[in-house]
Every structure is written in structure tokens, then in C-alpha cells.
């Protein structure tokens, strides 16, 4: 039952983050849909960690090079997701208010993704079949 509550909480926080992202595009003052390119980063960010968990063996208690590379790539993707709206706002493609909404949405979405990994990815007995 705790897994269901965590899943509902994570989906609620993900919906809040996407609401901030859509507000940055659809409000009457902003009217630009360039911030939606951040969705690509949301999809790409968990992929290196999923691959590293699948490929690396868990016999060594210390971190492996594969996991360290996955953390590095994930960090680069997350930093790029925060940098894109700042660059768009600096070049006056979008307004700074839209940039603030996108950055808020980024923080909420990436904390949701981190929460998913903490709640559902911690144990070795984790299986996708439980859903």
C-alpha cells in the first residue's frame, strides 16, 4: 500500500511540474512554445541510469565506472535542461517570467524523477511486474 501512495504522490508532483511548464508557454503574456523543448530532457534524463543499472553487476559495493559515467551523463542532461530556458530568455526568444516558470517546473519534475529512483529503485527485489 505504501508503493501506491508513493506512486500517487509522484504522479501528483509530476503533474504540478508539467503545469508550470505549460503555463510558461500558454499564458497570454508569453505566447511562445519554445520551452516545450525541455520535455526532451525529461525523457533523456533517466535513460543513462537505467542502462547502467542493467549493465553493471552489483557484486562490488563501491561504485563502478559504468555507474559513474551514467551519473555524469545524467548530470549533464539536467544542467542542460536548466540552461536551455536561461539561454532562450537571454537571447529574448522567451520572456524572463516564462523562464522562471520553466525553471520551477524543471525543479519539480527532476525532484519527481529522483523520488521515483529513491522509492522504486532502491531494492534488488524491485520488479516491474508488481504494477
b/e string for 26-64 if b means 16 or more Cβ within 10 A?
Answer: eeeebeeebbeebeebbebbbebbeebeeebeeeeeeee
Q: How many domains does the chain have?
A: 1
127, part of any domain: no
Whether 129 is covered by a domain: the verdict is: no
What pLDDT does 73 receive? 96
The band of 130, judged by pLDDT with boundaries at 50, 70 and 90, is low
Q: Considering the domain boundaries, does residue 130 fall inside one?
A: no
Within-domain flag for 128: no
pLDDT tens-digit readout, 13-70: 999 999 999 999 998 899 899 999 999 999 999 999 989 888 876 655 566 888 899 9
In a domain, 94, yes or no: yes
Q: How far is CA 45 from CA 50, 54, 94, 106, 116, in A?
A: 10, 16, 24, 12, 13
Does residue 110 form part of some domain? Answer: yes
In a domain, 78, yes or no: yes
Q: Write out the residue range of the structural domain in which residue 70 sits.
A: 2-122
Residue 80 has pLDDT above 60, yes or no: yes
Amino acid at each position: 500500500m505504501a508503493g501506491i501512495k508513493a506512486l500517487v504522490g509522484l504522479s501528483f508532483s509530476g503533474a504540478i511540474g508539467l503545469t508550470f511548464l505549460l503555463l510558461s508557454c500558454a499564458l497570454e503574456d508569453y505566447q511562445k512554445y519554445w520551452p516545450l523543448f525541455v520535455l526532451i530532457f525529461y525523457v533523456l534524463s533517466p535513460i543513462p541510469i537505467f542502462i547502467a543499472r542493467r549493465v553493471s553487476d552489483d557484486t562490488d559495493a563501491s561504485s563502478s565506472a559504468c555507474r559513474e559515467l551514467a551519473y555524469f551523463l545524467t548530470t549533464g542532461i539536467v544542467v542542460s535542461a536548466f540552461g536551455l530556458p536561461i539561454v532562450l530568455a537571454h537571447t529574448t526568444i522567451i520572456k524572463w517570467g516564462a523562464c522562471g516558470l520553466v525553471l520551477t517546473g524543471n525543479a519539480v519534475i527532476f525532484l519527481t524523477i529522483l523520488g521515483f529512483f529513491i522509492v522504486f529503485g532502491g531494492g534488488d527485489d524491485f520488479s516491474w511486474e508488481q504494477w
